[in-house]
Structure 1
């Protein structure tokens, strides 16, 4: 039973990673495609490769997911079995995947990160696991609000500086140069996406692996976990994300090359700092979307389509509790079916 549940965790986690890839692929490339700096095919290919590379750059976020959100070792020690702990992880993953698919269907760029964490918290509560509320607040909730604010404010201020520096430059030449620069900024953002989002799947698989003895919780994450998570998100990215790409690239605001470059660059910096400096699993989606709003607001506030932005914010607010609810329901269902 334990081995079957552990295999189910790995399969579901990699499935979640794949949906994360095609759900969030648009984050790294939407502005580059909408400004015609890159074609969709080239942009998706580049993002897929750099998602893979970024996933292998560190494990700080993975360790946060594996050890700092829900403690499963307490359950295992108390009950002398791993069944209960593994069912919690399975239920959490189903909750996260379900919310990802719902928001993908409606074209809403919600957070796969918070869907996964919400699923873990909901299933953990249902399973009477020890939820680390202090870490959830410090490493999830606070960064959840902080990273979009930094994305919006940083993009707005830097875009204002760029506009001032280029106030006498010819628009056609400026746009041409920034289209070239967007290749680098989109690449940096895709790398940051892999660094953040693939590690979350690594963390979940690591939880299952050390629970059944396939890995040592006191040591680094095994290479097979790193490579499988990197490959899954890369393949998902290659599958594309056209629905959400249209929302980010055109429905919020029509983005020109300078604004696209600034939005991508600011987003990439936020992702790197949060992952490497604070070990916080922040949302690529939240950061990119607010950065696009920030550069758009430099035209005029009315240039941002705030109605679309409002729908996106509602999806953000709903993600944690909605994924938690699905995780809780799935735990109760599996608990009943398996007779635990």
Structure 2
């Protein structure tokens, strides 16, 4: 069947590879605080997250429809553009994973697709209005909302339990974290697995295998859910350490407040079809939980590096996706060259990560302290 060409199969496999990186890149979103407080052991945490990511993939397809027909003109998108956009997203995910930065897999995907389509079909094929409404505004608002909600929830948690025995409070909140972390994992599957569903659906539409405006078939939903679930189980230990131990000192009431706040924001956005970044929401909620506890220490240097990575994600992935689209558009040799370079880069990132490995055994080690601020003496 012509509609299921070799290139289409390659695009689907590349999309599922991105979904896998999305899973291990974003495991920290649901489980970093539970691992940091000891509510769940690292291995159990990623197993629970993996199962619930798979379940969440079947709850909604509204975000998938936004991606497959929302940010670009699907009638002008080719398989080469989709392939190139996915390469841009995968490489940015690997760069930020190596650096331990919880950047947005979602924005990496959007950036890669926007750059590839812009180069391949021109600016008219990109729906900039939809990008502002569906991506940029939620990207700015969602971490702020999550931060404020988590700050208030943390403050109330400590006020309500201030007369209770500290040990009993900690035990109760750690038990609660199992439920709240599970809800974040379920919400993550609902939101993030749909992004790969949307990309595969866009590829099927571009070849005529599906009609314009169609939703994802059942096998797309299942394969996307399985890929993100397996990636989640692999565990992104470097990013888990940053979110669990690097941003602020998390106690169990804070972890429960952060996870509950993130779940509310993510599920509300999924219902409305906003493909926001679960990473940004969860990072914002952890920051809010740190600010909500009296005398808690927030490492603003780490927060600043994370914010810079957020600003760079969309344009950096777009640049890589655009270059990949230009090279891949030269023919089969160009597609092969892009694939070989991407595989070589992935292998190089993995080898670099082995120099200072982070594993379930050392993921809860305290990060190196930030150097104290220095004041230059007056002349």
Deviations 1:210-258 (A, max 9, x none): 2223223344321000000000000101111110000000011111110
Q: Distance in 2 between matches of 1:19 and 1:287?
A: 19
In the alignment, structure 1 residue 25 sits paired with structure 2 residue 23: no
Aligned mates of 2:53, 2:246 — CA distance in 1: 25
Contact 1:20–1:112 at 8 Å: present in 2 too?
Answer: yes
List gaps (5 residues or longer) in structure 2: 335-379
The CA deviation at 1:157 is 1.1
The DSSP-based 3-state class of the residue aligned with 1:37 is coil
| Displacement after TM superposition at 1:170 (Å) | 1.1
Gaps of 5+ in 1: 76-83
Residue 71 of structure 2 corresponds to 69
Is 1:253–2:255 an aligned residue pair? no
Aligned counterpart in structure 1 of residue 277 of structure 2, from 275, 278, 283: 283
1:106 aligns with 99
TM-score w.r.t. the length of structure 2 is 0.85
Residue 9 (structure 1) aligned with residue 2 (structure 2)? no
Match of 1:191? 186
Q: How far, CA to CA, are the matches of 1:202 and 1:266 in structure 2?
A: 26
Map of 2:143 onto structure 1:
148
CA contact (8 A) 1:215 1:222 kept: no
Alignment CA distance shift 1:23-1:339 (3 Å): closer
RMSD over aligned CA atoms reads 1.5
1:272-298 per-position Cα deviation (integer Å, ceiling 9, x unaligned): 00010x211111111111111101012
My pick for the range that moved more, 291-300 or 45-54, is 291-300
Local SS of the residue matching 1:108: coil
Residues 25 and 237 in structure 1, CA contact (< 8 A), matched pair in contact too: yes
> How many angstroms does 1:302 deviate by?
6.5
1:155, 1:220 → 2: CA distance? 34
Structure-1 separation of matches of 2:148 and 2:234: 32
Higher percent of residues as helix: 1
SS at structure 1 position matched to 2:22: helix
Q: Do residues 327 (structure 1) and 321 (structure 2) align?
A: yes
CA offsets per residue over residues 10-52 of structure 1, 9 Å max, x none? Answer: 0110000000001111111000011000001111110000000
Displaced runs of 4+ in structure 1, greater than 6 A?
A: none
Counterpart CA distance in 1 for 2:74 and 2:78 is: 6
From 196, 210, 219, the equivalent of 1:201 is 196
State the partner residue of 1:78.
Answer: none
- 1:307 correspondence with 2:309: no
User: Is residue 2:121 matched to residue 1:128?
Assistant: yes
Match among 229, 244, 255 for residue 234 of structure 1:
229
Residue number in structure 2 paired with 1:115:
108
Distance in 2 (CA, whole Å) between partners of 1:300 and 1:89 is 48
- Total equivalences in the alignment: 330
Match of 1:93 among 86, 93, 115: 86
Equivalents in 2 of 1:300, 1:93: separation in Å?
A: 43
Instruction: State whether residues 147 and 285 of structure 2, in contact with CA within 8 Å, keep that contact through their aligned partners in structure 1.
Output: yes
Q: Secondary structure at the match of 2:39?
A: coil
Tell me: CA distance 1:250–1:87, structure 2 relative to 1, closer, same or farther (3 Å): same
Equivalent position of 1:81 in the other structure: none
CA distance in 1, matches of 2:293, 2:225: 38
Higher relative contact order (CA 8 A, sep 6+): 1
- Show the counterpart of 1:316: 310
